[in-house]
Amino acid sequence: MSRVGVIGVGHGRFGRRSDATVQELAFEAFRAALQDAGIERKELDASIIAAVPEYHKQRSVAGVVQEYLNLNPLPTWLTEAACAAGSAAVRTAWMAIKSGLHQVVAVIGCQKMTELATADILALMGRVGEVQWESVFGTTFPGYYAMFATRHMHDYGTTHDQLLQVAVKNHHYGAQNPNALFQKEVTLEKAREGEPVASPFCVYDCCANADGAACVILASEDRARALSKKTVWLDGLGCATASMSVLRRPHLTGLPSAVGAVQQAYRMAGVTAKDIKVADVHDCFTIAEIMAYEDLGFCEKGQGGRYIEEKRSYIGGGGVAINVDGGLKAKGHPIGTTGVSMTYEVVKQLRGECGPRQVPDADIGLTHNVGGIGQYCFVHVYKRD
């Protein structure tokens, strides 16, 4: 069967972008992706916008972005899967191309989160959980993941220092990423001093809200080979879901949706966890990255704390190099954009274009994008020729 490939990528700076509207953020990334692909707008035949609309004053953000990018009258639509909206959009583009309906599709993740007050954002995030029986009791996004961390510590002896070492690593690489929100290293000693958020978390266990955009352009195999000499192929896709309520989950030490999604993606791509050289995983909180190590098969269940403590997720650490763009923790988390940003990083890694953050001999990469508290998970496997 024919393949679908990424022929161009673009990324803007993440941060408190009071200098730009959501349309302008989208344009930064879109223009860069067109330039990277070496094509013009006329080569596109559709766009897909990834965003979570509640964070924008504009009700139908896809329409205003499409107009600003001068893409009318091409078809466009919005995807939303909470924090996994970006990867949902990439999957949707892949399906549209595989069906033969479209040949070249731009996927644009764009989010303005700082238009709302922090209290409003926390309220929205808390409602990602089950509204009828959980969020009415005051659940928050950090609170949910703090429960995961507490249970992981109880069952496997994971320590808070091990959690904080995820933050140390991701800030180390974020300091080398010009698009990251936080471009400053953090020591373990400094991280330990962070103000408490939700036990056992302190501020350094948590990612930050941000504004920002990223864009990837996907094409059918025929069009990709005609348009690009640096295509990266999206050869494995997995998607699974879990209950909205954590009370209905079989356990609190991992995400069943991630396990299901990665099994699908590995099988489709014809690879195993041992073949992955570089990965961008959903580290909304430090425990989320440790659970991802285990859910994705990079280490045994319960060994995620040791995996980071031994620095196996660093470049050259002997394991899979993970979140070497800073991850959500240091790069920031404009929620509709994150999955597209992950794709950008893995594509750049497989093309050997990441400078001091380059993973040697990276030929197979993975993205792991979680929506909410694990209700949705999308895993994608990318390969270079």
Q: Which residues participate in catalysis according to the annotation?
A: 83, 333
Omega before 73 cis (within 30°)?
Answer: yes
In sequence order, which residues have a C-beta less than 8 Å from that of residue 136 and are 6 or more positions away? none
Q: What value, to the nearest 5°, has the Cα angle with vertex 178 and ends 172 and 180?
A: 65
**What's the CA gap between 337 and 63, in Å, rounded?**
17
Nearest to 223 by CA among 381, 50, 102, 56: 102
148 contacts 311 by C-beta, under 8 angstroms: no
Cβ count within 10 A of residue 63: 15
Helix boundaries (H) for the chain: 22-37, 61-68, 85-98, 118-126, 141-156, 160-174, 188-192, 221-227, 256-269, 286-295, 304-309, 327-331, 338-350
| Beta pairing partners, 50 | 79, 109
| H/E run at residue 4 | strand 4-11
Q: Number of H helices and number of E strands within the chain?
A: 13, 12
DSSP, residue by residue, 8-61: EEEE---B--TT--HHHHHHHHHHHHHHHHT--GGG--EEEEE--GGGSSSS-H
| H/E run at residue 236 | strand 232-241
